[in-house]
C-alpha cells in the first residue's frame, strides 16, 4: 500500500472527540516520548513472511501482549490495526482488543485514512509493540480501525497494516515504528515459487556483497521509498531511437517500491503504450518463453523483469464483481478462471517528480531490496534461492532482449504464479488525488499530504 490522506472533516471529528481529554492526552504524549522507545537491535532479525495466494505476505507481531497478523508495508508509514471496537466488522483473524492490554494508553484522536480500496475510520492510542525477540517499542503510536469500507479486510489473512516507510506523514509528529525500533536499514525479498514465503530482515543483511554489487537508487522525497523512473518498455523489433517510451524523452516519473501492493501499478496512458509493445499472452501461458522482458531504469540503474514477474494466472475471483476486475488494466473480454493475463493495475497520480508508478510484490521476487533510512537510498541486488542477495547485473550488459537473458540470471525463476484476485491488495493511491502545485504536496478533498 502507499500514501494515505486524512480529511479535514475527520480531523475536526478528532478534535471534538478528544476535547474533553486533550490535556491528559498531551501529557501522556509528552511523558511517553520523554521515556522513549526501547530497542535492543544488536543483531539483525530475519522475519519470515507467510504467503497467501501469492497476493498477501504477512507475519505475526505482538501488540500489547496480543499476537496480531500484519502486512509490513513499505508504501505507508503508520500502524493501523483492525480492532474489536469495530463491532460490525468481519474478523477473519484475531483483532486487537485494548481491554485485554495492560500497556494500552488512550489518545482519543479520531481520523479517516483513505486507501485505494476504500476508507477507514480509526482512533489513536499508544501501545507496546514487539517484533521478534529483540525489537520492542513502548508507547508506540498506532491507530485502531473502528469502521472501514475496505473489502479485502473482510477476508484478509492480516489484521494490521504495519507502515515501514522512511519518514513520517505530512504534519505527523509521532515516531514511526522504524524510528521507535531504532532500525535504519532493513531488507525485503519474496521467493519466486508459488506459495513460498518471503523475508523481512530488520537490520543489515548478512552477506559478502560489497557496494559495487548493488544498484543504488537515491530516495527522492521525504516520506516514501520512491526514486526516479525512466524508459519503461518491452524491447521489440520495431523499436527505433524515435520510439517514445513511457517515462522517456525527458519525462521523469516516480516509482514507489511498495511491499504492500500485490501487483505493478502504472498510469493508464503508460499501460496503453506498453500494450502496443507486448504480443498477446496465451490464455494457458504456453507462449511465456516468447514474451519479452520488461525493462526500466531506476535512478540510472537499468533493471528488468521477466514474463514470470508481470504475467499471472487467475485461479480465483468473483466473476460477477467489478471492483477487483476494474482496477486491472488488461481486462479480458470474457471473465473466466485459469487464464493468464498481464499483472498490471492502473493508477493515475501526479507528483512533483512526475507520474507515479508502484512496483509491488512482483518486483521483490526478483530484486532483493535494502531500504536505508540513514543514507536515504535503496539498494537492489538479484534475489537468489532462499532470497539470498546476489550481485546486480546491469540489464544492458545482458546478452540479448530475449526472455532467456533474465532467466540466465534467475535459475530459480519457475513458472507463472497462480493468483486469487479476491486476495489482491491494491495500493493506497486514488485517482481522486489531485496535484496541488505546492512542492511535494497533494490534495484529497479539503486535505493535503506529501509524497
List of E strands, 258-322: 264-266, 294-298, 301-305, 311-316
- For residue 71, give the nearest of 186, 188, 158, 129 by alpha carbon: 158
- For residue 84, give the nearest of 72, 71, 68, 70 by alpha carbon: 68
- The 10 Å CB-count burial string (b at 16+, else e) for 14-34 is beebbeeeeeebeebbeebbe
Contact of 22 with 16, CB cutoff 8 Å = no
**Domains of the chain listed by start with CATH number:** 8-201 (2.40.70.10), 206-450 (2.40.70.10)
Q: What is the pTM of this model?
A: 0.83
Q: In Å, what is the CA distance from 254 to each residue of 25, 214, 367, 392?
A: 38, 20, 18, 21
pLDDT attached to residue 146: 95
DSSP 387: G
* Cell numbers given for 14: 478528532
Dihedral sign, Cα of residue 29, residue 32, residue 35, residue 38: negative
Other beta carbons within 10 Å of 195: 11
Per-residue pLDDT of the chain (451 residues; tens, 9 = 90+): 664 444 433 333 333 233 333 334 434 433 444 333 334 444 799 999 999 999 999 999 999 999 999 999 998 888 999 999 998 899 999 999 999 999 999 999 999 888 767 788 999 999 999 999 999 999 999 999 999 988 888 999 999 999 998 875 556 678 999 999 999 999 999 999 999 999 999 999 989 999 999 999 999 977 789 999 999 999 977 666 667 899 998 888 999 999 999 999 999 999 999 998 988 899 898 999 899 999 999 999 999 999 999 999 888 655 444 555 566 766 665 566 788 888 898 888 888 899 999 999 999 999 999 999 999 999 999 999 999 999 998 765 444 444 445 545 555 556 788 988 888 888 754 332 322 333 333 333 333 333 3
pLDDT attached to residue 396: 59
Q: In Å, what is the CA distance from 134 to each residue of 28, 183, 274, 317?
A: 25, 12, 46, 40
pLDDT attached to residue 416: 86
Amino acid at each position: 500500500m502507499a500514501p494515505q490522506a486524512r480529511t479535514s472533516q475527520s480531523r475536526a471529528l478528532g478534535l471534538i472527540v478528544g476535547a474533553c481529554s486533550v490535556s491528559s492526552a498531551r501529557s501522556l504524549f509528552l511523558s511517553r516520548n520523554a521515556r522513549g522507545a526501547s530497542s535492543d537491535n544488536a543483531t539483525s532479525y530475519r522475519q519470515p513472511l507467510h504467503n497467501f495466494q501469492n497476493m498477501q505476505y504477512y507475519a505475526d507481531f505482538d501488540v500489547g501482549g496480543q499476537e496480531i497478523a500484519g502486512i509490513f508495508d513499505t508504501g505507508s508509514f503508520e500502524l493501523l490495526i483492525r480492532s474489536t471496537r469495530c463491532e460490525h466488522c468481519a474478523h477473519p483473524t484475531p483483532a486487537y482488543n485494548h481491554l485485554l492490554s495492560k500497556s494500552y494508553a488512550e489518545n482519543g484522536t479520531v481520523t479517516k485514512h483513505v486507501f485505494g480500496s476504500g476508507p477507514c475510520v480509526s482512533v489513536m492510542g499508544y501501545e507496546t509493540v514487539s517484533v521478534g525477540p529483540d525489537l520492542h517499542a513502548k508507547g508506540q503510536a498506532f491507530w485502531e480501525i473502528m469502521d472501514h469500507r475496505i473489502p479485502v479486510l473482510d477476508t484478509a489473512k492480516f489484521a494490521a497494516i504495519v507502515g515501514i516507510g522512511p519518514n513520517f506523514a505530512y504534519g505527523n509528529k509521532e515516531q514511526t515504528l522504524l524510528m521507535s525500533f531504532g532500525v535504519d536499514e532493513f531488507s525485503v525479498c519474496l521467493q519466486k515459487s508459488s506459495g513460498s514465503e518471503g523475508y523481512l530482515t530488520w537490520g543489515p543483511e548478512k552477506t559478502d556483497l560489497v557496494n559495487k554489487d548493488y544498484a543504488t537508487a537515491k530516495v527522492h522525497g521525504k516520506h516514501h521509498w520512491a526514486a526516479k523512473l525512466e524508459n519503461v518498455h518491452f524491447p521489440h523489433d520495431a523499436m527505433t531511437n524515435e520510439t517514445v517510451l513511457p517515462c522517456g524523452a525527458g519525462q521523469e516519473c516516480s516509482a514507489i517500491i511498495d511491499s504492500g501492493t500485490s501487483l505493478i501499478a502504472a498510469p493508464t496512458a503508460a499501460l496503453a503504450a506498453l500494450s502496443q509493445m507486448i504480443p498477446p499472452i496465451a490464455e494457458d501461458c504456453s507462449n511465456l518463453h516468447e514474451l519479452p522482458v520488461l525493462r526500466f531504469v531506476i535512478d540510472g540503474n537499468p533493471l528488468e523483469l521477466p514474463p514470470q514477474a508481470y504475467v499471472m494466472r487467475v485461479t480465483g475471483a468473483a466473476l460477477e464483481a467489478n471492483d477487483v476486475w476494474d482496477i486491472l488494466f488488461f481486462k479480458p473480454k470474457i471473465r473466466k478462471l485459469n487464464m493468464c493475463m498481464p499483472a498490471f493495475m492502473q493508477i493515475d497520480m501526479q507528483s512533483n517528480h512526475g507520474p507515479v508508478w508502484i512496483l509491488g510484490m512482483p518486483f521483490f521476487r526478483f530484486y532483493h531490496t535494502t531500504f536505508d533510512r540513514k543514507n536515504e537510498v535503496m539498494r537492489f541486488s538479484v534475489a537468489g534461492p532462499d532470497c539470498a542477495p546476489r550481485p546486480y547485473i546491469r540489464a544492458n550488459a545482458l546478452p540479448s532482449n530475449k526472455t532467456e537473458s533474465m532467466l540466465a540470471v534467475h535459475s530459480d525463476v519457475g513458472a507463472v504464479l497462480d493468483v486469487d484476485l479476491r486476495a489482491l491488495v491494491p495500493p493506497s493511491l486514488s485517482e481522486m488525488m489531485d496535484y496541488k502545485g505546492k512542492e511535494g504536496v497533494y490534495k484529497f478533498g479539503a486535505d493535503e499530504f506529501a509524497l
